[in-house]
Structure 1
Amino acid sequence: MIRIFVVIGLLMLCLLPGTSPAAGPVDTVIAGIRAECAAIDNGVLTVETGAVRSMDLTGDGKQDAVIDGQDLSCSSSHTLFCGGTGGCRLFLMAGGTVTEEMSKGWTLARLGQMPVVLLQVHGSECGGTNLRRCVKALVWSDGAFRAAGDQTGRPKKQT
């Protein structure tokens, strides 16, 4: 009987606003990358522990989600999620959108109350080669991630 109450309590906790990212966008992204992997010689996707992270990317106090390609692998393509000098694919899910970036490393910082996603990117984004150090900063504003220098104010891929 106690077990039932514990299970019910845990389920209710999961339904509280701000306690976990919306499963919908995470499930959609995972399904998409699983299909990408399977399309290459029937590859099998492995999602390592920690690949999906919950954090507030927008500053609204609600949990958003990040999927880091560094923690994904495809049995038939070792470079599907990380490869070359551009780093790994990174999926940012917030406000009903999914934004994909390439990154050699990333962190979530705060500038006052504003969350800022810092990406270490390929040196070509700063006018050099891969050896040039370069960082891109993304902030959530008006329903999208935005970075200085983006003509439209939106990253390359956003759905």
Structure 2
Amino acid sequence: MDFAFLYFVISFSVTKAALSGPLEVNGSEGQSVNITCTYSTFYHHLLKYWCKGKEQSTCTILVKTRGTTTSNADGRISITADDTAGEFTVTMKQLTLSDQGWYWCAITTRFVNLHHPVNLKVIESHRSLLTAQSPGKEIGKNNSKYQIIWRILRWSFLAILVVWGIVTVKM
């Protein structure tokens, strides 16, 4: 088995399992949203950040923390990390229509940054239907059982690949 392919598969399996969150969050203009991203507590000491942009590699970092809580310059966006629980929450206050777009939950690691995309949709204020936090939380709850199953399958697949790689090398 080609080492580069094995490294790619292992890296993909581990990094995708290490950080997760909602795929889409809805908010109303003028209101606030909370987006919670979960991560393996193995990464508790690393820099966590929230950035905006269609591509993770070129997104603009809006707020970051290595501790517990940090806000951006205007105080509208904050990030609060709970390393014991393995999660960080980004709060965006006083949403505007220009806030709509793709964002990334991210953690800086030595080799490969962990990242998870979140699509924020902002509804005009005269069409507000529900509180801004409910839709994002529901999406996260609906996906959580699938995320758990997928994490188990990924780690099982990783174990099989490692054993297969060891057996193949000994032959």
Which TM-score band (shorter chain)?
A: under 0.3
Instruction: Identify the structure with bigger relative contact order (alpha carbons < 8 Å, sequence gap 6+).
Output: 2
* TM-score (normalised: structure 1): 0.27
TM-score (norm 2): 0.26
